[in-house]
């Protein structure tokens, strides 16, 4: 792989659709051999950003760079893998045929059997794509995205429709690709997915980058805390306390999200003498995302 500072770049990019500004002076870089999660609500501009990187649309202003080159150059596009949210593939082709056809576009594709083993779709190879379930089709789409040994991989909501086991299997493959030097741009509405995979996070809201940085840096922007404990107190009761924004019971344990931990912990101990297994930790990406979105509104 070529040594480049960034796998992909948007530099001061503006994109309009009529009177609507989809991207407003966006600056974002994808680093090599890392997962960058691009998060944001529906309509924030995430798919538009990917379309610009893929050369499917042109910016109205600013610079778009893909693997140190312009996006529309064929030789550059062959170094990229893509798994979009809304993929349309021929229903009448068998999975094996789809994989062989797609692999033929790349100079050094993965061998078919290796690819099938890596993605766990060996049993699907002889089947018609149109006869697969939505989850099975999603797994085939992932295999198509990585069949060309990409240096840069775009994953747009990759685990939508997958069960827990298939989702974790896909995560494992993504991690192995990154270890081998592949850069990944991930969009997802599953914040636990971003938290599990991302090295860096950028939050896009109404066409602007609200914040960007390492996963730890984004989480540190949220001052909320998580409290877990075993208690006879009800989640409904605690949910009405001051400083408590969320209270649930899961697997026999109370799980709280609080604005300030100390007064809540003191009250827990005062009202339940038998309270045990008390844990207090920093809030996660989900809470930080909610806070960042609210502040940018």
Co-location of 193 and 236 in the same domain: no
User: Are the CB atoms for 101 and 90 separated by under 8 Å?
Assistant: no
Domain assignment of residue 3, yes or no:
no
Q: Crossing angle for the helix pair 95-103 and 134-146, nearest 10 degrees?
A: 20
Residue 217's Cβ-side half-sphere holds a number of Cα atoms within 13 Å equal to: 10
Q: Crossing angle for the helix pair 112-119 and 95-103, nearest 10 degrees?
A: 120
**88: which residues sit within 8 A by CB, 6+ positions away?**
none
Quick one: three-class SS letters along 162-207? CCHHHHHHHHHHHHHHHHCCCEEEEECCCHHHHHHHCCEEEEEECC
Between CA 103 and CA 115, with CA 109 as vertex, the angle to 5 degrees is: 85
Residue 47's Cβ-side half-sphere holds a number of Cα atoms within 13 Å equal to: 10
Domain end point (choices 220, 254, 283):
220
Q: Which residues pair with 23 in a beta bridge?
A: 15
Domain end point (choices 202, 220, 238):
220
Tokens (6 digits) for 269: 């101990």
Q: What is the pTM of this model?
A: 0.80
Residue with tokens 């309270």: 275
Between CA 167 and CA 172, with CA 170 as vertex, the angle to 5 degrees is: 110
pLDDT of the chain, 297 residues: tens digit per residue: 456 789 999 999 999 999 999 999 999 999 999 999 999 988 899 999 999 999 999 999 999 999 999 999 999 999 999 999 878 899 999 999 999 999 999 999 999 999 999 999 999 999 999 999 999 999 999 999 999 999 999 999 999 989 999 999 999 999 999 999 999 999 998 888 998 999 999 999 999 999 899 988 887 766 678 899 999 999 999 999 999 989 999 989 999 989 889 999 999 999 999 999 999 987 778 777 777 777 666
Co-location of 267 and 281 in the same domain: yes
Co-location of 34 and 21 in the same domain: yes
Q: What DSSP element (H or E) covers 4?
A: none
Co-location of 230 and 201 in the same domain: no
pLDDT at residue 191, as a whole number: 87
Co-location of 80 and 213 in the same domain: yes
Co-location of 201 and 138 in the same domain: yes
User: Taking the alpha carbons of 246, 251, 254, 259 in that order, is the dihedral positive or negative?
Assistant: negative
CATH code at position 59: 3.40.50.300
Number of domains in the chain: 2
Domain assignment of residue 78, yes or no:
yes
Q: Which residues pair with 152 in a beta bridge?
A: 80, 183
Domain assignment of residue 2, yes or no:
no
Co-location of 211 and 232 in the same domain: no
Co-location of 206 and 253 in the same domain: no
Co-location of 171 and 284 in the same domain: no
CB count in 10 Å sphere of residue 30: 25
Domain end point (choices 171, 203, 220):
220
Residue 136: which domain range?
Answer: 8-220
Domain assignment of residue 213, yes or no:
yes
Tokens (6 digits) for 267: 């009250």
Tokens (6 digits) for 235: 């989640």
Domain assignment of residue 235, yes or no:
yes
Helix (H, G, I), strand (E, B) or coil at 282: strand
CATH code at position 278: 3.30.70
Query: Are β-strands 253-258 and 244-250 bridged in parallel, bridged antiparallel, or unpaired?
Result: antiparallel
pLDDT at residue 1, as a whole number: 45
Domain assignment of residue 285, yes or no:
yes
Co-location of 24 and 46 in the same domain: yes
Q: Where are the alpha helices (DSSP H) in 22-162?
A: 46-53, 74-77, 95-103, 112-119, 134-146
Co-location of 201 and 260 in the same domain: no
Co-location of 193 and 232 in the same domain: no
């Amino acid at each position: 792989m070529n040594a480049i500072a960034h796998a992909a770049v948007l530099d001061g990019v503006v994109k309009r659709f009529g009177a609507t500004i989809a991207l407003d002076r966006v600056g974002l870089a994808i680093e090599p051999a890392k997962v960058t999660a691009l998060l944001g609500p529906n309509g924030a501009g995430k798919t538009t950003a990917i379309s610009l990187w893929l050369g499917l649309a042109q910016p109205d202003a600013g610079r778009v760079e893909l693997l140190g080159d312009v996006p529309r150059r064929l030789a550059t596009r062959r170094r990229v893998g893509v798994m979009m949210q809304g993929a349309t593939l021929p229903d009448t082709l068998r999975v094996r045929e789809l994989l062989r056809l797609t692999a033929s576009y790349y100079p050094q594709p993965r061998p078919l059997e290796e690819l099938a083993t890596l993605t766990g779709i060996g049993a699907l190879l002889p089947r018609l794509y149109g006869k697969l379930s939505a989850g099975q089709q999603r797994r085939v789409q992932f295999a198509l995205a990585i069949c060309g040994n990409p240096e840069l991989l775009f994953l747009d909501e990759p685990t939508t429709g997958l069960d827990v086991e298939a989702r974790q299997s896909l995560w494992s493959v993504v991690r192995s690709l990154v270890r081998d030097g592949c850069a990944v741009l991930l969009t997802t509405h599953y914040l636990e997915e971003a938290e599990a995979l991302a090295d860096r996070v950028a939050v896009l809201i109404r066409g602007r980058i609200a914040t960007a940085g390492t996963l730890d840096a984004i989480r540190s922007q949220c001052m909320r805390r998580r409290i877990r404990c075993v208690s006879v107190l009800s989640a409904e009761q605690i949910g009405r306390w001051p400083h408590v924004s969320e209270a649930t019971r899961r697997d026999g344990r109370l799980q709280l999200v609080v604005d300030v931990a100390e007064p809540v912990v003191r009250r827990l101990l005062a009202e339940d003498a038998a309270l045990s297994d008390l844990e207090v930790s920093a809030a996660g990406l989900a809470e930080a995302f909610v806070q960042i979105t609210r502040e940018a509104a």
